[in-house]
Amino acid sequence: MTIENRKLKTIIGKVGGTAGKGSLNYKMTIPSKWANELGITKDDRDLKVAFDGKKITVEKDVTKKLGGIEMKKDLTVKNLYFSHANSDGTMDLEFEVDGKTVFVRNVEIPDNIEEDYWDVAENVSKAVTEADDEDIEIK
């Protein structure tokens, strides 16, 4: 993929409401082509923005929100209900969240895991964080 560079102008405006006197906000617009390629729509316009002190990175926020569940945030060890071993060496994790069953499919697992492996919050968090969004489903 080639990188497309453009020079953009910053839109600077006064802030209203309870902001301090003289406060300003800063916005930029991006080309429609870029918005389309990112999958930004009127109904799905959440972005993830990072700033490292010199550079701003903008990407589509792929956090799934289905049925009122913010997928990866709500899938924790306290909501883990079952773990199912698959024949291909992966596992499916089954969560109960807000009365819904949520599966994280095809979770890679380390060799020789202990029976209480999924009782450790860090292990569940790592599995959920590394899961592809396509592997998360609600039933």
Q: E strands along the chain, which residues?
A: 10-14, 24-28, 47-51, 56-60, 65-66, 69-70, 80-85, 91-97, 100-107, 136-138
* Position 53 pLDDT exceeds 90: yes
What are the extents of the domains in the chain? 10-60, 65-138
**3-49 pLDDT tens trace:** 899 999 999 999 888 888 889 999 999 999 999 988 888 888 888 88
Contact 59, 69 (CB under 8 A): no
Q: Work out the angle at residue 44's Cα, subtended by the Cα atoms of residues 11 and 31, and round it to the nearest 5 degrees.
A: 40
pLDDT band with cut points at 50, 70 and 90 for residue 62: low
% of the chain surpassing 70 pLDDT: 92
* Position 92 pLDDT exceeds 60: yes
% of the chain surpassing 90 pLDDT: 47
Neighbours of 128 (CB within 10 A): 22
Q: Average per-residue pLDDT in the chain?
A: 87
* 27 backbone dihedrals φ, ψ, rounded to 5°: -135, 160
* Position 65 pLDDT exceeds 60: no
Structure tokens at 20: 């301090």
